[in-house]
Amino acid sequence: MDHFDYLDGAMHVEQVPMAAIADAVGTPVYVYSTATLTRHVGVFREALSRLDDPLIAFAVKANPNAAVLATLGKLGLGADVVSGGELLRAIAAGIAAGRIVFSGVGKTAEEMRLALEHGIFQFNLESEPEAEMLSDVALSMGKRAPVAYRINPDVDAGTHAKISTGKSENKFGIPYDRALESYAAARALPGLDVQGVAVHIGSQLTDLAPLEAAFVKVGALIGKLREAGHDIRTADLGGGLGVPYDPSKPVPPSPADYGAMVTRVAQGWNVRLMFEPGRVIVGNAGALLSRVVRVKQGAQAPFVIVDAAMNDLLRPSLYDAWHDIRAVRPAGGRAAANVVGPVCETGDTFAMHRDMDVVQADDLVAFMTAGAYGATMASTYNSRALTPEVLVSGGKWAVVRARPPIETLIAGDSIPDWVRD
Ligand code: LLP
């Protein structure tokens, strides 16, 4: 559920007309709804309400905007970070270090030091060399790092190959079958305090079965680790729950279904459970607002050329992702169209032969469910300015990331004398 609704024939976000934002800020622009963020946090928390003090660490990569993070932080969420940059963003937004978990296969010694200085809740380790490095860094600072190993359960998440992470051939985690050896080696490292187990098998999962299979493996491992004398106190079940993008497809399992499954599977584990949801919190809370530049005749269907492009919303070109495209003020009628951006490659295509509202030049369109992995994956390809972002709350709205002047982009480069002369 979201708060992008039509009122008097025009799309509003909460009480604000989308057109008012487009007129004031220009397009393309990302628009986020505080009411939707708040609702999703509530729904997710409610789904886990039978668990004892779960740590819900929002996956910052899904939407790292400071205002979004601060909103989620105020609602009590922690953060799952994958870089020093994300760690600093989460802290700057007011999220306490004690609610931060650090994931990722390539943490550098510098990032480890930063996270140890701040005193984060947990590092999710993904390899033995990483464990050794973290132990050394912690010892050099006179500290012990709280860690879990992310295990690779060799489960097929059944999602797009580029966002599947739980198969043995993927780069993530330590092999499930070798976990006991890896844990034994970690326990021997004096700079580590081994406290948990972690798993994350992929993103945009539309079936609970692979998640359940992975969690069952985590449960079995917790038992074996305890038998081997490890003091396991946390289990991080990652993120991955899908959201509805295409209204013609079956809806993914709800947070309530997910929570019921987790509550059943994790019974008796006797750990603090941790979660790293990203998309399910922010996905439907955002839309990319864009203006039609012109409509051009095509061989089979017209090309609707909009002022947003693959640099603003990469998901369709990278993952063939489907985003609903709606007219902000539908004039009536639907027809097939190809929706494309101005970037000079065929991959800059949002939809082909899409049955959608009929639109014409200067009309506004909204790409729905763009709050997750939208603005954060934007680039300046084709020397286009980074996409601005707006946060709405009730009848109020604010620019939470301004559109940088293109001069800033140009000024970022420098021409050495020997090239100039
Ligand atoms: N935890 C870890 C360790 C992750 O790698 C991810 C996402 C999450 C949590 C959050 O997953 P979520 O709940 O959002 O599914 N750019 C892609 C998605 C990449 C996801 C990467 N990892 C997309 O636009 O679909």
Q: What pLDDT is attached to residue 346?
A: 94
Q: Per-residue pLDDT averaged across 204-232, rounded?
A: 97
Rounded distance from Cα 102 to ligand 1 centre (Å): 14
* pLDDT at 144 > cutoff 90: yes
Question: 12 has which bridge partners?
Answer: 5, 17
Q: Where in the chain is the domain with CATH 3.20.20.10?
A: 34-281
Q: Of 257, 263, 171, 153, which Cα lies nearest the Cα of 206?
A: 257
Rounded distance from Cα 238 to ligand 1 centre (Å): 9
What is the ipTM score, two decimals? 0.99
Extract the annotated binding site. Answer: 240, 276-279, 315, 319, 345, 373
Q: Where in the chain is the domain with CATH 2.40.37.10?
A: 4-31+283-411
Confidence of residue 160 (pLDDT cuts 50, 70, 90): confident
Active site residues: 344
Rounded distance from Cα 405 to ligand 1 centre (Å): 31
Superfamily for domain range 4-31+283-411:
Lyase, Ornithine Decarboxylase; Chain A, domain 1 (2.40.37.10)
Which 3 state secondary structure label does DSSP give 305? strand
d(Cα 127, Cα 413) in Å, to the nearest integer? 37
Q: Are 338 and 352 in contact (CB under 8 A)?
A: yes
Using a 6 Å cutoff on CB, does residue 245 contact ligand 1?
A: no
* pLDDT at 168 > cutoff 90: no
Q: Which of 41, 61, 122 to mutate to test the pocket of ligand 1 (most atoms within 8 A of CB)?
A: 61
* pLDDT at 158 > cutoff 90: no
CA atoms within 13 A on the CB side of 207: 10
User: What does pTM read for this prediction?
Assistant: 0.97
Class of domain 34-281: alpha beta
What is the residue with the minimal CA distance to atom 8 of ligand 1?
239
